[in-house]
Amino acid sequence: MTSVLNVDSIAAKDGTSPVALTKQEAAKMWCNMNGTGTIAINGSLNVSSLDDNGTGLYDMNYTNSMSDANYAGQVNIQNASPQLQTTNSSYLYVQSKNASGTLVDSLVWASNHGDLA
């Protein structure tokens, strides 16, 4: 038997919170961050904070951890080469390098797909 579910919105049991995506194929994290000057989150999902670990070195800390470190992480960096250094269940570690291989501060866009803990 085929089922159809037609809704205008879905909310958690309290009626206002977002629904947790635990075993879905949607992105579980995305972040648009400014890594120049004082680093800042421009927009995000499931990112609680950023760590500035030096020029071109950033941690994106998850609000809700991934189930393990075996997820697919993607990074794009403006005018630089992205290097996804570490996939960890609680943060994403990124390096931003220019064409010469020198670490540089830049704008960073990242996302990942996998299962939440």
Asked if 96 and 80 touch (Cβ cutoff 8 Å), the reply is yes
Q: Is the predicted pLDDT of residue 108 greater than 80, yes or no?
A: yes
Task: Identify the residue with better confidence: 42 or 1.
Answer: 42
How close are the terminal C-alpha atoms of the chain, in Å? 33
Q: Is 93 inside any structural domain? A: yes
Q: Is the pTM of the predicted complex or chain greater than 0.85?
A: no
At CA 38, angle to CA 106 and CA 111, rounded to 5? 50
Residue 34 is assigned to a structural domain of this protein: yes
Q: How far apart are CA 96 and CA 117, in angstroms?
A: 28
The domain in which residue 62 lies consists of 29-113
In this predicted structure, the answer to whether residue 7 has a pLDDT above a threshold of 90 is no
pLDDT band at 81 (very low <50, low <70, confident <90, very high): confident
The count of domains in the chain is 1
* Strand ranges in the chain using DSSP code E only, listed in sequence order: 29-34, 40-45, 47-52, 57-62, 72-77, 81-87, 91-97, 107-113
Domain-located, residue 2: no
Mean pLDDT of 37-44: 96
Classify residue 14: in a domain, yes or no. Answer: no
Residue 24 domain-assigned (yes or no): no
Write down the pLDDT at residue 52: 96
On whether residue 23 sits in a domain, the answer given is no
Average pLDDT over residues 92-97: 90
Look at residue 29 in the predicted model and tell me its pLDDT.
93
Higher pLDDT, 18 or 2: 2
pLDDT at 6: 86
